[in-house]
Amino acid sequence: MDDDTATEILEATYRALCQHGYASLTLKDIAAESDRSKASIHYYYDSKENLFAEFLDFLYEQFTAELSSVGGNTPREELEALFDTVLTDERATPGQKFRTAMLEVKAQAPYNDGFQARLAEFDTVLFERIREIIASGVETGEFDDAVDPAVAAEFLVTAITGAHTRHVVTDRSTARFNETITRYAETHLLADAPSEATH
Amino acid sequence: MDDDTATEILEATYRALCQHGYASLTLKDIAAESDRSKASIHYYYDSKENLFAEFLDFLYEQFTAELSSVGGNTPREELEALFDTVLTDERATPGQKFRTAMLEVKAQAPYNDGFQARLAEFDTVLFERIREIIASGVETGEFDDAVDPAVAAEFLVTAITGAHTRHVVTDRSTARFNETITRYAETHLLADAPSEATH
């Protein structure tokens, strides 16, 4: 299969996933979103699980590219840009539907080693990127040198993951979670924060 | 239906859910875990969705009872006891399986108003309990009076939710998340924390 065919099928998978969710998604639904027949998709991928493993790799590439392109003049700006990237307002279609479907996929992780390994990679790459930004902020003196970058990054990844889940469950905007998490970061990481802003 | 019958069916639902997950769960699976026939369960509940709405109410009652019974000599101890309650080590069966199934149910929320309303209640009652503990800690002077109880509670509910999701996705122990979240609370809420512990 050439790259264009693969990309076409994976983009059709994205659209079909947003429309049907993961549990009831079939190769037929994916074919309906592409110019391919169900038979040809089946020929390439064998099963929904195999196609989905590829799809997670495809998303992972996009995600790492997004995380790498996050930039700013200072570590603080970089961290804010990262929050804007991972906590965009997903009320807009298909964002929320995609996030909902991904929560279904996450619930499959304990039953599918391939999914679990891939989803753990998203978790790790996000952790590493945040740790790196915080460490460079500590180095430049923008962040308090008492901050342990690994501990702060671990906490922030947990909070970001929670924001994604609560957004699906409570239908609240991720923009609101972005605000809370940014506020945490600003008040607990910055060196010499004025005392009224330290909490 | 008398209360004993209802409780028996709901307890069978818990066991069947841990065994089969939500997506593939059938009334027949639930019947297999109880002394009832599929027909009698169907008679009482009509559909899996209806039974599940009742099941969420049943879990909610247990959850609020657990949250109310959380105690300690001081707000700080109370908060730690709450973390121990909501972030128990769920590697033990059936804890992790149950948490995984609940993640599937959360992913149903946008498609089922009854589920969404109920799941939002779990979110709200946890928020309120944490806000209340923090507010009383601020009042007694154990927590820093610059802490805004609602903001801190909002952040902690997000982190606890994220710990539950990451536990399923990465197969890491919730006990580890409990440690990170407790550390956050200790270092950012306590009044007069020694400066080496403020981050």
pLDDT in tens, B8-26: 999 999 999 988 989 889 9
Q: In the numeric block, which tokens belong to residue B32?
A: 């297999």
Q: In the numeric block, which tokens belong to residue A37?
A: 């027949």
In a domain, A51, yes or no: no
Q: What's A169's domain CATH number? A: 1.10.357.10
In a domain, A134, yes or no: yes
- Domain span at B9: 1-46
Pair B128, B189 in one domain:
yes
* 3-state secondary structure at position B94: coil
**pLDDT one-digit tens code per residue, B109-138:** 888 999 999 999 999 999 999 999 999 999
For A109, which residue in chain B has the nearest alpha carbon?
B169
Pair A117, A164 in one domain:
yes
B69 near A CB under 8 A? no
Pair B87, B30 in one domain:
no
Question: Could you tell me the sign of the dihedral formed by the alpha carbons of A185, B90, B109, A22, in that order?
Answer: positive
> pLDDT below 50 — which residues of chain B?
194-199
- Cβ(A79)–Cβ(A186) under 8 Å? no
Q: Chain B contacts of A177, Cβ < 8 Å?
A: 158
Q: Which of A22, A109, A166 lies closest to B158 in CB terms? A: A166
Task: Classify residue A89 by burial, with Cβ atoms within 10 Å: 0-12, 13-18, 19+.
Answer: middle
* 3-state secondary structure at position A190: strand
- Cβ(B58)–Cβ(B10) under 8 Å? yes
- Cβ(B182)–Cβ(B83) under 8 Å? yes
Q: How many helices (H) and strands (E) does chain A have?
A: 9, 0
Number of structural domains in chain B: 2
Pair B105, B41 in one domain:
no
In a domain, A8, yes or no: yes
B113 near A CB under 8 A? no
Residue B94: is the preceding peptide bond cis (ω within 30°)?
A: yes
Does the pLDDT at position A194 exceed 50?
no
For B96, which residue in chain A has the nearest alpha carbon?
A110
In a domain, B51, yes or no: no
Bridge partners of B143, per DSSP, are B190
Pair B112, B182 in one domain:
yes
Residue with the two structure tokens 């998978």: A13
Q: What's B11's domain CATH number? A: 1.10.10.60
Sequence-distant (≥ 6) Cβ neighbours of residue A180 within 8 angstroms: B151, B154, B155, B158
Q: What part of B 116-135 touches A (C-beta under 8 Å)?
A: 116, 119-120, 123
Q: Chain A contacts of B21, Cβ < 8 Å?
A: 107, 111
Shortest Cα distance, chain A CAs vs residue B185, angstroms: 11
**CA–CA distance, A161 with A127 (Å, rounded to integer):** 11
Task: Classify residue A141 by burial, with Cβ atoms within 10 Å: 0-12, 13-18, 19+.
Answer: exposed
A192 near B CB under 8 A? no
Query: What ipTM was reported for this prediction?
Result: 0.87
Pair A94, A8 in one domain:
no
In a domain, B134, yes or no: yes
pLDDT: which is higher, A99 or B130: B130
Other Cβ atoms less than 10 A from the Cβ of A84: the count is 14
Q: Chain A contacts of B100, Cβ < 8 Å?
A: 107, 109-110
Pair A65, A29 in one domain:
no
Shortest Cα distance, chain B CAs vs residue A32, angstroms: 22
For residue A198, what pLDDT is reported?
Answer: 42
Pair A38, A66 in one domain:
no
